[in-house]
Amino acid sequence: MATVLNQKAGNLGSILTRHREEILAQWLREMSGTTRRSDLMNEAEVKGQCARFLDLLIQATAAGGSNSDSNSYDPMRSMLEEISRSRALQGFTPSETATFVFSIKRPLFTAIREELSDGGEVAQEMWTATELLDNLGLYTAEVYLKSREEIIRRQQEEMLELSTPVVKLWEGILALPLIGTLDSARTQVVMESLLESIVKTNSRVAIIDITGVPTVDTVVAQHLLKTVTAARLMGADCIISGVRPQIAQTIVHLGINLLDVTTKATLSDAFALAAKRAGLKFIREQKQRKDKQNNLEEVE
């Protein structure tokens, strides 16, 4: 069996070696017609990848036959990994990525038909090649999906970090602008970072701004109340700001009790209240400046 396999692969390998240039040229034509995305990759890059693929295929079939699980296909696999990973990043679709491998079939089959005269042999050779290329194509698609998942996971982590900035507005006044939907995992992070910041900055007032929260349902409201209660337990007051009309309606319709929580329409209103509680007063300086100008003029 092994010898038969090797012989077949030997055929495939020799056909590939002899018709390398033709296959390469036809393959490139094939791709430029259907799947090559000239907006994402230039021609030279694609040509380089195709040539490398062919060379590695020749090497692999020469050493390990047509069994794509064998060690001789390792360099081939790592090259496919690299290609599909870079294409996932560039924004190719999975089928476009896998078609990179599948589109070699037509030129390869043409070469096989030219090389072999016997119909049975041609069919046999084509079957071997199809099986091999299907495996490689599927592997490419698999790696593509894996790298996509990696990207998604990384972005999720980044979003979680980005989404909870606690900013200090004034001595003793913190603000937490929330953007996006709140779920349990995020609320946990939000709550922890807010409470940590309260301790660190010794703040007595924290403003939670929910202008960027698209919808408030019972779960989100529950999370907000928990955060407010936890802050109160530590000795800090919470003000919720940025409640939009629709959200106010939903909250009342859902029967959520926000009576114990101070709510304000905008962040600036909330800040004004916080400043008042902290005993701060803001005075416009305009008049004094005018006086100064007058003084200067007099001096001149």
Partner 1 sequence: MDKIPILSMGEFLLVTIQVDMHDRLAMTLQDDLTSRISETGARGVLIDISSLEIVDSFIGRMLGNIAAMSRVLDAETVVVGMRPAVAITLVELGMSLAGVKTALNVDAGMELLQTSLGSDEEMNGSYV
By CB under 8 A, name the binding residues for partner 1. Answer: 191-192, 195-196, 198-199, 202-204, 226, 229-236
Q: Closer to partner 1 at the Cβ: 141 or 236? A: 236
Q: Closer to partner 1 at the Cβ: 167 or 234? A: 234
Shortest approach of partner 1 to residue 234 CB, angstroms? 5
Q: Closer to partner 1 at the Cβ: 248 or 278? A: 278
Shortest approach of partner 1 to residue 233 CB, angstroms? 4
Shortest approach of partner 1 to residue 200 CB, angstroms? 10
Q: What angle do CA 253, 257, 260 make, to 5 degrees?
A: 145
Conformational region of residue 180, where left means phi above 0, alpha means psi within -120 to 50, and beta covers everything else: left
Shortest approach of partner 1 to residue 262 CB, angstroms? 16
Shortest approach of partner 1 to residue 188 CB, angstroms? 8
Residue 228, judged by CB atoms within 10 A of its CB (0-12, 13-18, 19+), counts as buried
Q: Closer to partner 1 at the Cβ: 231 or 267? A: 231
- Helices marked H in the chain: 2-18, 20-33, 43-64, 74-90, 94-102, 105-115, 119-162, 184-201, 218-233, 245-254, 267-277, 286-299
Q: Closer to partner 1 at the Cβ: 158 or 196? A: 196
Residue 224, judged by CB atoms within 10 A of its CB (0-12, 13-18, 19+), counts as buried
